A and B are shown apart, each in its own frame.
Chain A
Amino acid sequence: MTREGRQGRANATPVLSVRDLIVEIPTRAGTVRPTDGVSYDIRAGEILGVVGESGAGKSMTGNAVIGLLDPPARIAGGEILLNGERIDNLSRDKLRKVRGRKIGMIFQDPLTSLNPLLTIGDQLTETILEHLPVGQPEAQERAIAALEEVGIPAARARIDSYPHEFSGGMRQRVVIALALCAEPDLVIADEPTTALDVSVQAQIIALLKRLCREKGVAVMLVTHDMGVIAEAADRVAVMYAGRLVELGPVREVLTRARHPYTAGLMASTPLASLGHRRLRQIPGAMPRLNALPPGCPFNPRCERAEDKCRQPPAPGLEACEGRAACWFPLTPDAEESAA
C-alpha cells in the first residue's frame, strides 16, 4: 500500500479506535479493572503518548489492543477497532495474523526482547515470511532494508550477527526493525527507551518519530518520561487507576492541564521546555485497584475535591469538553495557580 493511500484512507477512519475498553482481572480480593472505560483514537502518522504513574494501566491497555493479555486478565467490555474493523473478538489465529502484520510491538528492554540463540536476520526473515507473501531471498532483502531503515550501519554484513553482538541502543533499533518489518499500520511502544542510557534515548525517539512520519504509521508511545512526550507525541493520554483522566494535544496538556492530576504530574516533573519551577510531589499514592474510593478515583489526593467528587458516578472525559475527566477542571488560564 502506498503512503498516500494509507493516509488517505486513514483520514476518514482512525487506524486505532478504542471504545470504552474494560479489562478485568478476577482476583481473590474481587475483580479489578486495570483498564476501565478507556476511549481514544490514533490516526495514521500520529503519535499518541500515554503517561501515568506505575500501575495506572498503560501496559494493560496496550496489551489488550494487541491481544496479549495474560490470563486471567481479559477484555470485559468495549471495542477495539483497527482501520474500522473490530479486532477484540477475533479468533486466536486471526488475531495472531494481526499481530506483527497490522500491529507491531516494541518492549521496554532490548536486551531481553531478542532471542539470544537466533541471528537477527533469522528473526527478521521468520517474521517477514510469516506475514508477507514473499520467498526467502526476497525476505532476506527486506530484512536488510528494514535494518538500514532503522539506522544499523553495514546492515548487509551484520544480518547474520547474534543479538549479543550489538549494543543496547543498536538492539533496540533491531527490535524496532522487527516490529516494523511486516509493515504494520500501528506500533505500540511500551517504554521503548526506559532501559537505555540518556544519549541513546533521544536517538531512539527521533527514529520512532521519523519512521512514524515517513511510513504514516500510528504510534502508541507509553512512557514515564514527560520529556519524551514533549519531544515526540502529537497528543497525550493521561491515565490514572485504570481510567483515562485527560486527553488532548501535547502542548495544551503539558502547558495548560485541565485535570488536577495532570497538573500535579507536570509539577512533579522536571521539564526544561516548561521553564524552571520548583518540583512538587502529589500528596498520597495512587489507590490500589481493589480499594478505589467511590466517585472520582483521584479525589482523596485532590485539593479541589468536593462532595460531588466523592460520590458515584466517576466523571468521564465528557465532563470537561472531552478533554479531562473532572467535575471541577482547572480553567485554561489557571495553570499558574495550580502549578
Chain B
Amino acid sequence: MLAYIIRRVFQSALVLLIVGLVAFAMFRFVGDPVDNMLGQERTQADVERLRQQLGLDQPFPVQYWRFLEQAVQGNFGLSYRQGRPVSDILIERLPATLELAFVSGLFALAFGIGLGVFTAIRRKGFAANAIMTLSLIGVSLPTFLIGILLIYVFSVELGWLPSFGRGEVTRIGGWTTGFLTESGIKALILPAFTLGLYQMTLIMRLVRTEMLEVLRQDYIRFARARGLRERAINFRHALKNTLVPVITITGLQLGSIIAFAIITETVFQWPGVGLLFINAIQFVDIPVMAAYLMMISVMFVGINLIVDLLYFAIDPRLRVDRSAGKAT
C-alpha cells in the first residue's frame, strides 16, 4: 500500500509539473512581460536590465525551474491589472468559491446518493420514473440557462432570493464567510443549487445503475435467504458495495465543481476565483490566469489522491498489507 501511495504521489507531481509548464509557457508566449511592465517610454538599456532582472536572459529550463521555485512558494508575481501580488488576490477570493463548492458538493452528494438509492429500490414506481425523467432534463439544460431561469423565478418574479453577490459576509481571520448571516445564506442557495444540479443528476444516475447491478449479486440473494430485513439488505449490504465504484467518479465530479464554478460565478456575479479568472482573461492578466490554472490543478490532483486513499478505507480487498499474512 505504501508503495502504491508513493507511486500515486509521484504521478501527481508529474501532472503538476506539466500543468506548470503550460502556465509558464503562457508567460513566455502570450504577450511579453517586459512590454507589459515598462511603459511606452523605454530605452533598449531598460529592456535589457529588466530582462536580466527577471531572468529572461537565462535558458528556458532555468527559467522554468525558477518559475516552479516561485510557484511552490505561492509567488506568482504581481497582477498586471491590480498591481498587487496574485497570491493575495487569490486568497481573498478563495473563501467565496470554496464555500460555494462545498455547499453545492454536499447538496449533489446527499441528494445524488439519496435519490439514486431511491430510484434503484423503487425501480418501477411512479416517483422513481418521474425523477429519472426530470434528471434527463437536468443533465441536458446548460448551467447558465438553469441559473438564469432560477434568477427569473426566485429573484425577479417571487423576490425571495438575491440574484447576485454573496450577501453580507463575516470576516474570521483571513477567511470571509457567508454562513453566519441570513443574507449570506440566502445568497448561497441559488448559485449552490445551480452549480450542484448537474453533478447531482450524474451522481444519482451513477448510484442507481451501480445499485441495480449490486442488487443482482449473489450475496444480496444470500442475504435475503438469511432472512435479513430489506432495510439492512439495501443500506448495509447493497449501498456500501455501490459506493466503491461511485467514489472515484464522485470525487472527480466534486473536483470539477470548482472548475465549473466559473460559469455559475459569472451568472450570479459571485465574487470567487472563477469570476476573477474570467475578468483576468478579459484583461490578459497572465499572472492571475497562471496562478488560477495551477491552483485548480493542485486541487484536482489532491482530490484524486484523496479518492484513491478513500478506496483503501472502504474496500478491505485493497488493504493488502493487512491481509497478506493471513491469506490462505
Interface residues of A (CB under 8 A from B): 66, 68, 96-101, 104-105, 107, 109, 112-119, 126-127, 130-131, 158, 161-162, 164-167, 170, 175, 178-179, 182
Contact of B227 among A96, A109, A113, A165 (CB under 8 A): A96
A115-B241, A117-B241, A162-B316 as given contacts; A100 in contact with B226, CB under 8 Å: yes
**In this complex, what residue of B is CB-closest to A154?**
B326
Report yes or no: B219 in contact with A113, Cβ–Cβ below 8 A. yes
Q: A126-B236, A179-B226, A182-B226 are in contact. List 10 more A-B contacts (CB 8 A).
A: A96-B227, A96-B228, A107-B225, A113-B218, A113-B219, A113-B222, A114-B219, A117-B240, A164-B316, A165-B326
Contact of A162 among B229, B314, B323, B328 (CB under 8 A): B323
Residues of A within 8 A of B16 (CB): none
Interface residues of B (CB under 8 A from A): 217-219, 221-229, 232, 236-237, 240-241, 244, 314-317, 323, 326-328
Nearest chain B CB to A62 CB, angstrom units:
10
Residues of A within 8 A of B237 (CB): 115, 118
**In this complex, what residue of A is CB-closest to B224?**
A68
Could you tell me the distance between the alpha carbons of A161 and B316 in the complex, rounded to whole angstroms?
9
Could you tell me the distance between the alpha carbons of A57 and B323 in the complex, rounded to whole angstroms?
41
Task: Give the top 5 A-B pairs by smallest Cβ distance, nearest first.
Answer: A100-B227, A99-B227, A105-B225, A112-B218, A100-B226
Nearest chain B CB to A133 CB, angstrom units:
15
Residues of B within 8 A of A117 (CB): 240-241, 244, 314-316
Residues of B within 8 A of A98 (CB): 227
Report yes or no: A166 in contact with B236, Cβ–Cβ below 8 A. no
Residues of B within 8 A of A166 (CB): 328
Report yes or no: A165 in contact with B323, Cβ–Cβ below 8 A. yes
Could you tell me the distance between the alpha carbons of A117 and B311 in the complex, rounded to whole angstroms?
12
Residues of B within 8 A of A97 (CB): 227
Nearest chain A CB to B10 CB, angstrom units:
28
Could you tell me the distance between the alpha carbons of A115 and B233 in the complex, rounded to whole angstroms?
11
Residues of B within 8 A of A109 (CB): 218
Report yes or no: A115 in contact with B223, Cβ–Cβ below 8 A. yes
Report yes or no: B218 in contact with A170, Cβ–Cβ below 8 A. no
Residues of B within 8 A of A101 (CB): 227
**In this complex, what residue of A is CB-closest to B317?**
A164
Contact of B328 among A100, A105, A167 (CB under 8 A): A167
Could you tell me the distance between the alpha carbons of A118 and B232 in the complex, rounded to whole angstroms?
12
**In this complex, what residue of B is CB-closest to A109?**
B218
Could you tell me the distance between the alpha carbons of A109 and B315 in the complex, rounded to whole angstroms?
21
**In this complex, what residue of B is CB-closest to A167?**
B328
